Structure 1
Amino acid sequence: MMEMLIIKPKTEFVVTVEAELTPDLAEMDVDEVKKFKVYYGKDLVELGELFEVTKDGDDKKLLLDGDFSRVKWIGCRMTDGEIVVKGSVGANCGAYMAGGKIVIEGNADDWLGAEMKDGEIIVKGNAANLVGCAYYGDATGMSGGKILIEGNAGNYIGEKMAGGEIEIKGNAGDFIGTEMKGGTIIIHGSCGFVGGDMKAGEIKIGGEFELMPTFVRQEDAWVGDVNVKGEGVVKRL
């Protein structure tokens, strides 16, 4: 068995848990980890009240074993190490991430990899909305790293994205790459509207999609959004 810190929910959560669980916890003693403070709804509680915590070795790796779909901010600001989730995750997983790897065996909620700078996120299931986006009021979304979604994704994928890569093996929703400034989005399936106010970067789509009328057809691609003097590229896979 690999050496790691193992965290399991003790119960089904009635309200959401806000817990910035990162591989840094794996370098702490189990008793310290149990005292790590998290929010359960509006209450500040110790991690050990909500989760079983066990340790097997000293690798910088977290195994989150169970349903974490109501747990927000997993992997937030992580810089290295690895997190494996044997279930689904809540919102903001991998937000502001700067390195390391997150593997989610279930589904991911909104804001996956929001404003991430580096590292790798793999989702075996589906992802919801706002993958790799900028938080409201911020100018720049994802700027580096790679997000791979093996299932489908929702709306507003890569909004304000400036670098890195988002790859979706299935279909996606509407408003893909809105206000995009760099980086690459690859959708193997179909999606809705693409590239609104896109300034730069590249979107590649395997299936059907709807393009804003403010894109100019070139030999093997469309370039725009001309409304914002954009030079973003949309092409077929």
Structure 2
Amino acid sequence: MLVIRPKVDFEVNVEAEITPELATKPIEEIKQFKVYYGNHLVSLDELFEVEKNGSEEVLVLEGDFSRVKWVGVGMQSGEIIVKGDIGAHCGAFMKDGRIIIEGNADDWLGAEMEGGEIVVKGSAGNCVACPYWGDLEGMKGGKITIEGNAGNYIGEKMCGGEIEIKGNAGDFIGTEMKDGRIIIHGNCGYVGGDMKGGEILIGGSFELVPAFVKTEDGFVGDVNVSGQGKVKALK
């Protein structure tokens, strides 16, 4: 297990592509792992205290990581436990393993995620499980659970996997969605624009784009793109 704590309050963002695999390295190699502090490339131990206990693939982040980006990017195994808030792009391109965030998550959580699990005890920002600009596919597999609220553009171009939001969400849910499932227990804004497939279940109120057909089992669309996506009430 590797425990990392910030030494200072960060004045600019930190880009730290750290994954649980780092915990298996020798302590001196861990300390010399390179991260960006603004536009400066520095060693991990210049910004963080590091404490290694054994060699299991568990990464524990203690303190304020709200300005630390790219944690868990591309991770393939192990576990990350964030004892507080986390910055943008957490779990992007994730393939397997588990991330538990005890606070809030910034934008682009689980972007283009392929597998594994992310659990957010607080709320999340915009673009959860979305593709990066210019890419054609968002989340492909795995599960994201957000126990609080989430922002706009949730599950854009989603191709598989599941997103569950236990609070409310914003606008443009499941835009250009192809497959997978989004569950929102609370309210949200506009849903299903250019949706081609998949399923969105909503417990509260929502706004549906006009290009959906009402059926006995909910709404099907977006008919403008010959879509067969389903939007229905969460029972």
Into which bin does the TM-score normalised by the smaller protein fall? over 0.9
- State the match for 1:140 in structure 2: 137
- State the match for 1:34 in structure 2: 31
- State the match for 1:124 in structure 2: 121
Unaligned runs of 5+ in 1: none
1:171 is aligned with what amino acid?
A: N
How far residue 220 of structure 1 moved from its aligned partner, in angstroms, is 2.2
Which residue of 169, 176, 181 maps to 1:179?
176
Structure 2: distance between partners of 1:100 and 1:74: 13
Q: 1:181-220, aligned counterparts within 5 Å? A: 181-220=178-217
Structure 1: distance between partners of 2:70 and 2:8: 19
1:37 is aligned with what amino acid?
A: K
1:63-94 C-alpha deviation (Å, 9 max, x unpaired)? 00111000000000000000000010100000
1:51 and 2:48 matched: yes
Structure 1: distance between partners of 2:99 and 2:188: 25
How far residue 30 of structure 1 moved from its aligned partner, in angstroms, is 1.3
Unaligned runs of 5+ in 2: none
How far residue 58 of structure 1 moved from its aligned partner, in angstroms, is 1.5
- State the match for 1:225 in structure 2: 222
How far residue 223 of structure 1 moved from its aligned partner, in angstroms, is 0.2
TM-score (norm 2): 0.99
Structure 1: distance between partners of 2:48 and 2:211: 51
1:53 is aligned with what amino acid?
A: V
2:145 is aligned with what amino acid?
A: L
1:68 and 2:65 matched: yes
Structure 2: distance between partners of 1:131 and 1:30: 33
1:76 is aligned with what amino acid?
A: V
- State the match for 1:104 in structure 2: 101
Moved over 6 A (4+): none
- State the match for 2:162 in structure 1: 165
- What is the DSSP-based 3-state SS (H/G/I as helix, E as strand, rest coil) of the residue aligned with 1:200? coil
Structure 1: distance between partners of 2:115 and 2:22: 20
How far residue 198 of structure 1 moved from its aligned partner, in angstroms, is 0.2
1:192 is aligned with what amino acid?
A: G
1:132 is aligned with what amino acid?
A: A
Structure 1: distance between partners of 2:65 and 2:181: 29
TM-score (norm 1): 0.98
2:131 is aligned with what amino acid?
A: A
How far residue 120 of structure 1 moved from its aligned partner, in angstroms, is 0.1
Structure 2: distance between partners of 1:185 and 1:119: 16
- Give the alignment's Cα RMSD to 1 decimal: 0.4
